[in-house]
């Protein structure tokens, strides 16, 4: 299952049918409260070097540079 689900407080819903292509054995999924997003730090075992973060922007994943973590939400 390579999809992303979100809990809205009472029920789960699928927000993206395809997650980034990272090695799931070495990837870390975390919620960054500073930028208000969920991110994946991928493993170097696949073509996802550790200098790229995958950021969930509502319903799509996008590769972002590490500097996105310094942006904050306002």
End-to-end CA, the chain: 34
13 within some domain? no
**Number of structural domains found in the chain:** 1
28 within some domain? yes
What's this model's pTM, rounded to 2 decimal places?
Answer: 0.62
Can you give the residue range of the structural domain that contains 36?
20-70
Rounded to an integer, what distance in angstroms lies between the CA atom of residue 61 and that of residue 41? Answer: 12
4 within some domain? no
41 within some domain? yes
| Residue 71 reports pLDDT greater than 80 | no
Q: Which two tokens stand for residue 45?
A: 């075992």
| Residue 73 reports pLDDT greater than 60 | no
31 within some domain? yes
DSSP H or E run through 8: none
65 within some domain? yes
Q: Residue 11: pLDDT band by 50, 70, 90 thresholds? A: very high
Q: Where does the chain show beta strands of DSSP type E?
A: 4-7, 12-16, 28-32, 37-41, 53-57, 60-64
| Residue 50 reports pLDDT greater than 70 | no
């Amino acid at each position: 299952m390579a999809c992303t689900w979100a809990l809205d407080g009472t029920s789960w819903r699928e927000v993206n049918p395809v997650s980034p292509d990272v090695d799931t054995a070495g990837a870390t999924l975390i919620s960054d409260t500073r930028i208000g997003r969920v991110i994946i730090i991928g493993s170097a075992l696949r073509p996802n070097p550790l200098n790229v973060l995958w950021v969930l922007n509502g319903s799509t994943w996008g590769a972002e540079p590490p500097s996105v973590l310094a942006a904050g939400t306002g």
